[in-house]
Amino acid sequence: GKPLVVAIDGPSGSGKSSVSKEVARRLKLAYLDTGAMYRALTWYCLKTGVDLNDGAVVEQAAEDLPLEISTSPNHEYVAVGGVDITEDIREPRISSSVSAIATTMGARNELIRRQRELIDQHHHRMVVEGRDITTVVAPNAEIRMLLTASEEARLRRRGIQLGGTQSKEELAAQVIQRDAKDSTVVNFTRAADGVVTLDSSDLDFEQTVDTALEIVAKVI
């Protein structure tokens, strides 16, 4: 088929992952969760005792990272050195350290290189989600979208996702702090030129997916 890269950026709790996966299924495209790559690198650095604040060492770890990641929207799988870490990378200890990795430019460049390689391998037929896909990884994507939601909606969704065991304050601190740290290197709070904003604050999951598919349909 013709190239169809659907680039979707957004903050945590915007519903980005579930929406992106469903869009990929409906369009029969491959799917790449770039956040999972940053999480896998964080897991690897913690595992091997790398100092997260030492940029040169983190960059080397990124280059060495023996990463395997599923590109099917129907099968979530992330492994490092053959160890399945699909579940582990969602742990709070990873979420709270990932921004330190993501703000290391050398590590970013290596992961961006791998992301572009994966897009090439899938003949540019892929939904790619993250924070810098519309602006850096795939600025020439056929479709570029920023999925946003109000802070209230994002906190509510993250809370449900984590099982509702955390206090509102704890959640807010985690989600908002991570976004604040991340936005020092990637701008995912405002849409870049040519990027369509999809505000999902008042939409349910189905409505958000339908709106995203309408945006795609207008272009293809």
Q: List residues forming the annotated binding site for ATP.
A: 10-18
* Distance (Å, whole) CA 80 – CA 43: 9
Q: Is residue 186 near ligand C5P by the rule CB under 6 A?
A: yes
Per residue in 80-102, is it b (16+ CB within 10 Å) or e — as a string? beeeebeebbeeeebbebbbbbb
* Residue 44 near ligand C5P by CB under 6 A: no
CB of 154 to ligand C5P, least distance (A): 11
For the CB of residue 219, give the shortest distance to ligand C5P in the complex, in Å: 22
E strand or H helix that includes residue 177: helix 168-182
Task: List the beta bridge partners of residue 144.
Answer: 7
Give the contact letters, 114-153, x = binds to ligand C5P (CB under 6 A), - = no: ----------------xxxx--------------------
- Among 62, 140, 135, CA closest to 102: 62
- List the Cα angle 204/71/117 in 5-degree steps: 120
Whether the Cβ atoms of residue 199 and residue 149 lie closer than 8 Å to each other: yes
Residue list 82-121, contact with ligand C5P (CB under 6 A): 98-99, 102
Work out the end-to-end distance of the chain between its first and last CA atoms, rounded to an integer number of angstroms. 12
Shortest Å, Cβ 33 to ligand C5P:
7
Question: Which CB atom, from 83 or from 180, has the smaller least distance to ligand C5P?
Answer: 180
Q: Which of 22, 27, 39, 104 binds ligand C5P (CB under 6 A)?
A: 39
Q: Which is nearer to ligand C5P, 77 or 214 (CB)?
A: 77
Quote the least distance from Cβ 128 to ligand C5P, whole Å: 9
Q: Beta strands of 28-170 (E only): which ranges?
A: 30-33, 67-69, 78-80, 83-84, 125-130, 143-148
Cα angle vertex 133, ends 128, 136, to 5°? 145
Q: Could you say which of 23, 182, 208, 212 contacts ligand C5P (CB under 6 A)? A: 182
Considering the complex, state which of residue 135 and residue 211 has its C-beta at the smaller distance from ligand C5P. Answer: 135
Under the rule (CB under 6 A), what is the footprint of ligand C5P?
12, 34-35, 38-39, 98-99, 102, 130-133, 178, 182, 186
